[in-house]
Amino acid sequence: MLHTASTPHERRAALRSALASGRLLRFPGAFNPLSARLIQDLGYDGVYISGAVVSADLALPDIGLTTLTEVAGRGAQIARVTDLPAIIDADTGFGEPLNAARTVQVLEDAGLAGCHLEDQVNPKRCGHLDGKSVVPAIDMVRRIRAAVRARRDPDFLICARTDARAVEGVPGVIERAQAYVDAGADMVFPEALRDAQEFAAVRATVDAPLLANMTEFGKSELLDAETLESLGINVVIYPVTSLRLAMGAAEEGLREIRATGTQAGVLERMQTRSRLYDLLDYPAYTAFDGDVHDFTA
Ligand SMILES: C[C@](O)(C(=O)O)[C@H](CC(=O)O)C(=O)O
Ligand SMILES: [Mg+2]
């Protein structure tokens, strides 16, 4: 009720040991705190907080318009309602290496388990858009070093994302990934690889946990969990999936209500009041004070 049972440090330590297990950890994107509760209830390993979703939620494109304050604010709202570790998208770190250092501390304070920083130029853009540019590898190495030095909890996970696939091909991804691991990154996120062969090539040469981004309608083939695990991938994110599902269902239902003048035909597809109350943990509030909150269906 009201808060998590675990501390941020405990969630970070749990993520570290889960990563060491070698099994594939599944992190769907949570588009708000309530959806994070759903992800936890369904037995996933963690929640991902997507920059694309934070932007889309504000009806903005994912082109580096959101601020650290907005991103960290959403991260804090989500991290305080789930006992799953939450990994957040910190884009380019919001500026120079010193900004990346501050970003890491703000995200630690927000209760997150880790973040990823990417090697795109500022302003960044969605990794599945065309026309991306990356900074020289040495600039990203400085970004990572600053981030690693800034963290106060050694278990806060710093993941280096490289967007080099579109610019320098797989060899560029591999070279950069190795440099970022040497700079202290705990995990590597090779963005927008095309297929399983490309993931295998990166896996064979990079000595760190790997994150795969299975975002829909993008440049990567959608590989299933079994395939990703057999490739030796450690974390898979489904960053925008729950938002796409929710928005798809909302649009369909709202169209039908607009056309028919009633919700009668869409009730079956809705989350019920009791399922919502269950996720919100109404029973715990009722137990705390039955006079204030009670509900019988
Ligand atoms: C992972 C990502 O950075 C995100 O913000 O969720 C996006 C996802 C997407 O746009 O589908 C990305 O750049 O891949
Ligand atoms: Mg992003």
In tens, the pLDDT along 66-114 reads: 999 999 999 999 999 999 999 999 999 999 999 999 999 999 999 999 9
38 and 271 Cβ atoms separated by less than 8 Å = no
Ligand 1 neighbour 118 (Cβ under 6 A): no
Query: Strand ranges (DSSP E) for 98-183?
Result: 114-118, 157-162
SS3 172: helix
Is 50's C-beta closer than 6 angstroms to any atom of ligand 1? yes
85 C-beta closer than 6 A to ligand 1: no
pLDDT score at 174: 98
Q: State yes or no: is 155 an active-site residue.
A: no
- State in Å: Cα 127 to ligand 2 middle: 7
Mean pLDDT, range 133-148, rounded to an integer: 98
Using most ligand atoms within 8 A of CB, pick from 27, 66, 87, 126 the residue to mutate for ligand 1. 126
pLDDT (0 to 100) of residue 165: 97
Distance 205 CA to ligand 2 centre (A): 25
Residue 2, pLDDT above cutoff 90: no
HSE value, Cβ hemisphere, 13 Å, CA-based, for 108: 19
Q: Rounded distance, CA 129 to CA 192, Å?
A: 10
Name the residue with the closest Cα to ligand 1, atom 6: 50
**Is the CB of 87 inside a 6 Å radius of any atom of ligand 1?**
no
**Of the candidates 175, 63, 178, 196, the residue with the CA atom closest to the CA atom of residue 128:** 63
Beta-sheet strands, E only, within 139-213 = 157-162, 187-190, 211-213
Structure confidence at residue 287 as a pLDDT band (50, 70, 90) = confident
- What distance in angstroms lies between residue 190's CA and the mean position of ligand 2's atoms? 13
Q: Sort strands 25-28 and 235-238 into parallel, antiparallel or unpaired.
A: parallel
pLDDT, position 3: 77
pLDDT at 297 over 70: no
How remote is the CA of residue 258 from the centroid of ligand 2, in Å? Answer: 34
pLDDT tens-digit map of 225-281 = 999 999 999 999 999 999 999 999 999 999 999 999 999 999 999 999 999 999 999
Total length of the chain: 297
pLDDT over 80 (residue 38)? yes
- Cβ 239 under 6 angstroms from ligand 1: yes
User: What is the arithmetic mean of pLDDT over 164-176?
Assistant: 97
What's the mean per-residue pLDDT of the chain? 96
Locate the ligand 1 atom nearest the alpha carbon of residue 191 and give its number: 14
Query: What is the H or E stretch that residue 27 is in?
Result: strand 25-28
Using the predicted structure, report yes or no on whether residue 295 has a pLDDT greater than 70. Answer: no
Judged by phi (left if over 0) then psi (alpha if -120 to 50, else beta), residue 191 lies in: beta
CA atoms within 13 A on the CB side of 252: 12
Helix (H) or strand (E) holding 200: helix 196-205
The alpha-carbon radius of gyration of the chain (Å, integer) is 20
Cβ atoms within 10 Å, residue 124: 23
